[in-house]
Homo-oligomer: A and B are copies of this chain.
Amino acid sequence: MSTSSSRKALNIGNINPHLLKAQYAVRGELAQRSEVYRQQLATGGDELSFDTVISANIGNPQQLDQQPITFFRQVLSILEYPALLEKEGLFPEDVRERARVLLKEVGSVGAYSQSQGCLGIRRSVAEFIEARDGYPADPRDIFLTAGASSGVNTILNTICSHPATGVLIPIPQYPLYTATLALTNATPVPYFLDEATAWSTDAEQIRSEISKAKAAGTDLKCLVVINPGNPTGATLTESGIEAVIALAAEERLVIMADEVYQTNVYSGEFHSFKKVLRNMQKASPGVYDEVELVSFHSVSKGMVGECGHRGGYFELVGFDPEVQAQIYKLVSIFLCPPVIGQCLVGLMVNPPAPGSPSYELYQKEYNSIFEGLKLRSRALYDAFLRMEGVKCQDPLGAMYLFPTITIPTAAVEKAQEEGRRPDEFYCLRLLEATGICVIPGSGFGQREGEWHFRTTFLAPGVDWVGRLEKFHEGFMNEYR
């Protein structure tokens, strides 16, 4: 504790204890150190043994190789400066037309929208969901958000009513969930994904955690599923989703389906929870009518990759109208999500149609990003297979690989000396030696005695993969 603490009204001893408890490794010590290196390199930085920092710690496509989709950005540039509409020939006609429609809907992108998001854009989202799932969606059930994180925060703040409120969380998980549960002072109830079967979700495993949690007095309210998985990349099958929904119905759990990677599927097919739920409701009338589902989506991932624009939405399915009104009140306190981000959601769900002037370029850009991600995921996966003591599941979806690493006893001891977890020690060494920033598995959760790290496969080229392999070899030689 710093000596200054006691002189201040606010100090580490008296601030919100739930904040102290929250952990968020994705932007923690390693990420901060990588930023320091980046600045050092920008101002000379001769003392470092690498010449670039590779931020593989976070799914931030446009910080790395990924270029924005031209159609989206052309429309946004007009929304920012509508006088560009008067310049004939500057943009394709469908860009101008789309900008006109969006401007009519939002007025100015500098004005607050409705708290739930602009109605016209929510209508587009509803049409997208309907086209994707084959079942209708209602714009009144759609809330536009500042990225999916903000939506998750809204829902958990609604659900969590007391410290014993339990939320089932996959392990490994994206740490937004445990961090937000720490802040809301509720109880995360972990269930393990099965690494041996491509990180699948096993309803029986969840059922057994439910029994234990109930016995411990936890008031279980909600089940989080991340599909495709973060950090695992796993993609759930239709029957896997059915099993989860059946369990939620039986146990009266709200399902939070984090579906932000729904277009990042490199093998198999994405099935939305909404579609599978509606199928089940149709097949067994009355049995699943009361299921409560929230589905999250975002402009940050997929081939859009517009993290910085903070756009997203969630759809409420089967919620009590009184609860929905409280969710509306909560979002209204913070006025509205960024309007440019809302417009980008509108563009993502309604891209150029076949035959329109921008269609061909859009398809080309979209496919090239998709193929690039797929290729890089394979290249990284192949490298892991070559590395001593490293195991990795096939890359199926999302933007990440989450390999298991074997850490030699000497390294584990060395880590303990430094007061660090072994995987943290490994990742720190990797960063210091190569400038590659990845996140230790302990930031996401892993089984006792296992060690992993999460890396994105967004960084361009293969040079950095070579650096990673070389580091690993040296590390194993040093501590073997």
A residues adjacent to B (C-beta < 8 A)? 1-2, 4-5, 7-12, 14-17, 19-20, 22, 24, 26-28, 35, 58, 60-63, 68, 73-74, 76-81, 84, 87, 90, 106-115, 146-147, 149-150, 153, 157-161, 176, 179-180, 183-184, 221-222, 252-254, 290, 292, 300, 305-310, 318-323, 326, 329-330, 332-341
Docked-complex contact B68 and A76, CB < 8 angstroms: no
Would A63 and B305 be within 8 Å (CB), given that A8-B323, A78-B77, A332-B24 are in contact?
no
Query: What is the chain B residue whose CB lies nearest that of A182?
Result: B333
Q: Which residues of B contact A73 (CB under 8 A)?
A: 80-81
Q: How far is the CB of A178 from chain B (nearest CB, A)?
A: 10
Q: Which residues of B contact A330 (CB under 8 A)?
A: 19, 22, 183
Q: Which residues of B contact A146 (CB under 8 A)?
A: 146, 310, 338
Docked-complex contact A10 and B76, CB < 8 angstroms: no
Q: Which residues of B contact A147 (CB under 8 A)?
A: 334-335
Give 23 pairs: A residue, B residue, CB < 8 Å, sorted on A.
Answer: A2-B322, A4-B321, A5-B322, A9-B252, A15-B158, A15-B326, A16-B160, A19-B157, A22-B330, A26-B332, A28-B329, A58-B112, A63-B112, A77-B84, A80-B80, A90-B90, A110-B306, A147-B334, A150-B334, A308-B336, A310-B335, A310-B336, A310-B339
* B2, B60, B222, B323: the one within 8 Å of A11 (CB): B323
Would A108 and B63 be within 8 Å (CB), given that A292-B10, A310-B146 are in contact?
yes
Q: Which residues of B contact A306 (CB under 8 A)?
A: 110
Q: Bound complex: CA of A311 vs CA of B448, how far in Å?
A: 43
Docked-complex contact B108 and A14, CB < 8 angstroms: no
Q: Which residues of B contact A74 (CB under 8 A)?
A: 81
Docked-complex contact A112 and B308, CB < 8 angstroms: yes
Q: Which residues of B contact A112 (CB under 8 A)?
A: 58, 60, 63, 300, 307-308
Q: Bound complex: CA of A389 vs CA of B90, how far in Å?
A: 58
Docked-complex contact A221 and B16, CB < 8 angstroms: no
Docked-complex contact B15 and A339, CB < 8 angstroms: no
Would A308 and B161 be within 8 Å (CB), given that A73-B80, A254-B9 are in contact?
no
Q: Bound complex: CA of A106 vs CA of B306, how far in Å?
A: 13
